[in-house]
Structure 1
Amino acid sequence: MMKKVRLGIVGLGAQGGAYAEFIKEGRVNNMEVGAICDVDPEKKAVAEEKYPDVPFYDNYIEMMESGNVDAIVTCVPHYLHPEMGIEALKRDIHALVEKPAGVYTKQVKELNKFAATKPEVTFGIMFNQRTNELYQKVKEIIDNGEIGEIRRTNWIITTWWRPQGYYDQSAWRATWEGEGGGVLVNQAPHQLDLLQWIAGMPKKVYSNVKYGYQRDIAVEDEVTAMFDYGNGATGVFITATHDVMGTDRFEILGDNGKIVVDDSKTVTIKRLKKPESEMSATMSMQDVMEIFMGKGPGEMYDEEVIEFESVWGAQHTAVMENFAANVLDGTPLLAPGSDGINGVALANAIHLSSWLGKEVELPLDEDLYLAELNKKIKEEKSE
């Protein structure tokens, strides 16, 4: 019986380097670094110095066929995630795909379709925020029906400030050809995943997106999107990379209460003593006047405030540990790889709505999206 999963790290950049360090430090107790792969010759010298006993490859197929790895993690540009995932699964190598699962749903669908033919091979995605106890608690409250049916979601997440120098680090960054988008595919996929994980997928999306608004880039750095969930409920999602002060506030309003998450650290749960519809139908105008005049909220709802602590890297290592546990003993995955398509679909719909200047329906027209994306890539090349 395998005791530890030997992980092949594809791409020894910032993320791949962090994972290698986590494992080296013993923070993932059921995993070891089996091999490292990078096409950059300079990374070979880095790997030899930091991980002298770990085999190094410049071709990930060779690494997977070497017998040195049981699984891979794809710390490479987004377009490559589906292709590498498929190549791993083909060889019965377990695949942990970085977020996003891909740039467009058509390629992610291919990955999911192939993965479905290999149910015995583990396929996960690095949605580390799903291991965050705060968001697990929010999902539990929604799933239990504690605040009733959702009426509205609002998430403003502008804590992704990035200076121009960040984008100038490499030629592929913040380009349609290299990265496939901006804040929606680089920084905010975690929130897009959490939003659909907790509140479900919308039926329609309408967006106002700014491309190169406050940064000299081709892709989006400012997004305002409106969701229609198809049952009367609506949502608003706002994200940006130019707000140096940043806000992270997620509100979910239900028939029987409200959840407010501040800075991904504090959850305030307000549970109404009577459903809002009942209050509306039964309250006298005198009762209403008392509320307007500042009647104590304690008479209308109970309030619970929960604080959560965050430890850097702990969420990533938790996903890695859970992934390895699934390989070793079948522990259920917190973030199944097949879930990755939902966040990509949301990002695609937000882009497409802004490109077409109209509301788009989900599931979206995948061929139309790809055609429009290819137009952006062509325009970028001709500039």
Structure 2
Amino acid sequence: MTTLQTETIHETGIDYLSLAESLGKQFAEREVEADESDLFVADNIARLKAAGFVTAGVPAELGGSGVSYADLCAILRLLGYHSSSTALAFSMHTHQVMIPAWRWYHQKAPVDGLLRRIAAEQLILLSSGGSDWLQSAGTATKVDGGFLINARKVFASGAPIADLLMTSAVYDDPDKGTTVLHFAVPMSAQGVAIESTWQAMGMRGTGSHDVMLSDVFVPDAAVALRREQGKWHFIFHLISMVAIPLIYSVYVGVAEAARDRVVQLALKREADELLCYKIGGLDNELMAAKIALQHMISTATVSQPSFEVTAQIMSGRTLVAKAVLNVADLAMDIAGGTAFYRKLGLEKLFRDVQGVRYHPLREDAQRTLLGQLALGWDLSLL
């Protein structure tokens, strides 16, 4: 953490890591309240915004702070340690900022307008990518000057406080066939509504409601990308490379919190070899999660998007998921029956970490892709 901290201070004049640690501790109380009442952690996100985290990943040349990718992963991990829902909701905004930032840095892509707006207007981005993925959802109907969009976008984490929805819909192109259109929609646009559906096992404060799009007009000029439905595209290799390590940094932070919580409880008991053995096993699992996460971050930092890189990132995603689930399970076992009480806090961490199962690519799809690469399949057909 020390090296990352020094780099962050040097680039921005703000110690974002220490600030994340301080804010995270303050967020914990609101996190518990949100969990018990299915409330969105709006105040926590607002405080992150006020502290400059919304624009942290925007390049300094475009009005942001230019915080490095590795630092943002570390920030989300710290926030995850203290406030699971806050961190996960904020990771969705963060990765949507870092995708165009990567394209600006590496491709000189014309995304500077969006990035400048994020910096100048403090925009919070909302993603529907995880639930849409390669197939997308909803319909785009051609009208004069653009499209009318009708869709239900589920699992939209952070919906109540978002400004701009980054999403897609399916257009039956008479010339090119079924085509997915990618575009941004202001949450204030006519026809956009939030349906409060988020009553979940864990991560209850993320506000991951459904976003309804009813005859929402999207101008032709606002369509940023067109691609064939169901097929891998460069943008999804980029999304995989950039988004997944950021999101999974949160879950490693949650696992670290569960580990520390159960060790504190164990210190109050008389230690024996069995207890030491169980805690040692838990620490092995946590180390595995950290190593896999670091591999993902290192790969994302130095690589260009490709099938091979996607396979590396998604293998890391599977390994992190397995390890953090094992950490949570072992923590409950070590604590014993008292872990069943909500006041102890472990059952919440156990519930929150279950979300690690559901982000793409889930293990079956990940293992299939890795096997296809190993056996030399023609991936251009996928």
- TM-score, normalising length from structure 2? 0.29
Structure possessing the higher radius of gyration over alpha carbons? 1
Higher relative contact order (CA 8 A, sep 6+): 1
Q: Which has the higher strand share?
A: 1
